[in-house]
Structure 1
Amino acid sequence: MDLSYTPEEIAFRDEVRAFLAAELPEDLSAKVRSGATLTKDDMDRWHAILNRRGWLATIWPEEYGGPGWTPVQRHIFDEETARASAPRIVPFGLNMLGPVLINFGTEAQKAEILPRILDGSDWWCQGYSEPGAGSDLASLRTKAVRDGDDYVINGQKTWTTLGQHANRIFCLVRTRFEGKPQEGISFLLVDLDTPGIEMRPIRLIEGGHEVNEVFFTDVRVPAANLVGKENAGWTIAKFLLTHERTNIAGTGFSVQAFEEVKALARQIRRNGQRLIDDPLFAARLAQVEIDLEAMKITNLRMISEAQKTGHPGVESSMLKIKGTVIRQTLNDLARRALGPAAVPFPAEALAGNAAVAPEDHARDAGRYFNNRKLSIFGGSNEIQRNILTKAMLEL
C-alpha cells in the first residue's frame, strides 16, 4: 500500500483546511479544545454548516446525499476536522441508521427519513442496550407484539446517549421468544413523542447528563416502521455495529490528542528538564505513536475494503479494540503529564492552589474517567476479541 498522498489528495486536504479556516466557528472549536460540553444548538450548528457544503454524510453514496469521497478522502477529512478541533458529528442518524436504511430499508423509508437526517429535522438515538443485555445484546427482552397494523412495545432501554435531544429512536426489540435468541429480534423505528414512552436521565459521577434510560409501556408503533423482515433484525444489528465500532475508534481524534500530549510534554518541566526529554515519558509517547501509525494504516485498509463491499468487515472489531486502547492511553499520558494539576476540579474551586492545569487541559481528568467507557460500549473489547477469534482465527 502506497501511504503517500497523491497530488489530488493533497489538493483535497488543502481544500478541507481552507473550509475549516473559513467556516468552523471559533467558539465551537474553543469548546472542543477545552473539553467543554457541547449543547444541542452547538452540534446542530456544525451539522448545518457541513450539510450546506455537502460534506455531512461522508459515508453515504452520492445518490442519497453523500459527497462520493474515496476512503482516503474520508480519512483526510476526519483527520483534518479533528486537528481543527471541530465538533464530532453525532453518529446515530448519519453513520448508523443511514447506512442501515440504505442497505435494508424500503424505498419509502429512504425517501422519508434520509433527507430529514441531512437537514436536521430528525435527531436519532439508539435503543440497543438493556439492564440485562449489554455486551450480550442477543439476550434483550424488550418485546414488540404485532397487533393489526401496529407493534405494541413494552420494555426498557438504557445508556441511551444524547437521548434527551432526540425526537426519534431506532430499537432492537424481541418479536419471537422461541428458538435461538438471535432469530427473534426485529429492528423498529419509533417516534419519541408516542404515548407510553418515558425517558429518564442517568447522571454521571461529575453531574453531567450524557446518557439516559427509556421505558416503553404499551407503545404503539406502525408496522411500516419495521426495517427489513420481522425476526431478522440481528443481521441488521451486526451490520450497524460494524459502523459504530469503526466510528468509536476515532483515528482522527487520537491523532489530535497525541499532538496535544506532545505539546503539553514540551511545556511542562520536571526536575529541571522538559517532560518530553524524560526517557520514560518519551518511551511511552513513542510506543503510542507507533500504535497510532499502525492503526491509521489499518483504518485505511478497512475503509478501502468497505468501499468495495458496501460495509465494514469483522476487522472493525480490531479497529475498535486498538482505537479505544490508544485513546485511553493518551488520556492517561495527559493525566500523568499534568500530575497534581490533573485534579478533576475547575480552577476556581482550587482557591489559589498552584497546581492548576493549563486552560485547554483543565478537564483532562474528566476526559480520562469518562473515556473508560470507550472499551465497553459498542460491544466490550473482550467481546470483540471473541468475535475476531471466531471469525478470523476460526477458533
Structure 2
Amino acid sequence: MEYDDIIDYEQESTKLDFKAIQYDSPKHPDLLKDIMSMANADVEGEKHIIVGVNHKANGERDIVGIEKETFIDASIYQQLIRENIEPYIKITYEPYEYTGEKDKYKGDLVGVFKIEDCNDKPYMMKKKYRNLNKGDAFIRKGTHQTPITRTDLDKIYDKKGSNDFEENIKMGFIDTEFSNRIKLSPLEISVLPSERAADEIERILEEKRNSKDILNNTGFGDIHKMIQGYTYPFSSVPYKHRSIERLEKDLENVKETYRDYDLYEVFSNSYVLNFEVINEDRNYIEDASFRLEIPDKNGIIVFDKYYEEPSGEPLIIGMETPTNIEVINYPDIYKEEDKVIVDVVIGNIKHHIPIDIYDVSFRIWIKPCLKGETIELKGILYGKNLVEPIERSFFIDVK
C-alpha cells in the first residue's frame, strides 16, 4: 500500500494515528491501549498507526524517522498483544520508506501498524499488565481515547446482533449464478464392462465347444502362441487362449472380477455436483462448515468415494501407488437415517469473494425411475459467529 499520501495529507482520525517515536518497553502499556482502542473503534476497514511522524495540533507534520538498526521487530508487539488482550487482535508492523512530497524527508524510514479484521469486539485486557488491569477496555472516537462505557458495549453487541448474514449470503449450484435449481436427465449405461466381458467369454466358450482344436480347448494355446513370439505384458492370458474349464469359472466370477471397472464406468459417467457461496456481509463468517442433506431414496446414488480408473497392471512389490489429490480431498459422505450427508469444513468465508463449497466436486447418479420428479436437497451453513445456521433448499428437476 502507498502510505505517502496518508503521511502528507491525512489528519488524525478514528482510524489513523501518528506517533513520533516507537513503542519501546516503557511504552508497552501505551501500545496495548492504542491498539485496543482502534480495534474497538466504531469504524470499518483497516486502521493505521504510523510511527516516526510528529503530527502537530495545527495539522503540520514532521517526519522524525526511525533508524533502520533500531527498528523493532513486529513479533515483539504481536506477542505482547497475544499475551495481554483478548480476543487476539491481528496486527502487522512494517518499515516503510517515505517517497512523498517533502523532499527533505525522502528516504526516511517510518513504521506502519496495520490493524484489521476487528470483527470480534469488545477487546479488553485479559490480565493485569503494569498500570493496566484485567478487564480494562478502551475505544477510540475521533482523535480521543476513552475507557469503554456501557453505552459503547450496548452499541457493539447491538451491531454484532444486527449483522444479518441470512440476507447477505448467496448460495447456489456452481456455474448457475447462485441458482438453487437445476435440471438433470436420468442416466443409463447400456452395457457395463462386466457385461461386455461376459458376452466375450460366452462367445469364446461357444466357439471352443464347437471346435475340434484340442490344443486351444485345453488351454495350451497360450503356450503355442508364446512359442510363436506372442506375449501379453501386464495382463493375464487372454480369454481366447484359456481352457473351457477356466472360462466357465471366469464367467461365474465376472461380476466380481470387473467390479472396479463397473464402478469406475458408472462413476465417470455420473453428474458432478458442487455449490458456491458468496458473503456480501461486511464481516467474515468464521470457521464455516457446510452440510448437505440428500434424500436416501431409490433412484439416487451418491458416491461416497472418488473412484480412480483401474490400471489393469499388477502392483510391483514394495512400490507405493501415488494417491490422486481428488481422492484425498473428496468430501466426507455418509448415511444418517433417511439421508445421505455430504460434509465439508470451509474455514473463514471472506466478504465479496465467491468460493466453491467443496474442493472436489462429488458425484451423483440419477436413475430413470425418478424421471418427472423433483429432488429437494437441504444445505446448512454453520459458522462460529452465526447466531443460527443458515439453511437453504436446492432442487434438482429430473426431466
Q: Which TM-score tier does this pair reach, normalised by the shorter chain?
A: under 0.3
- TM-score calculated relative to the size of structure 2: 0.21
- TM-score calculated relative to the size of structure 1: 0.21
**Structure exhibiting the larger radius of gyration computed from Cα positions:** 2
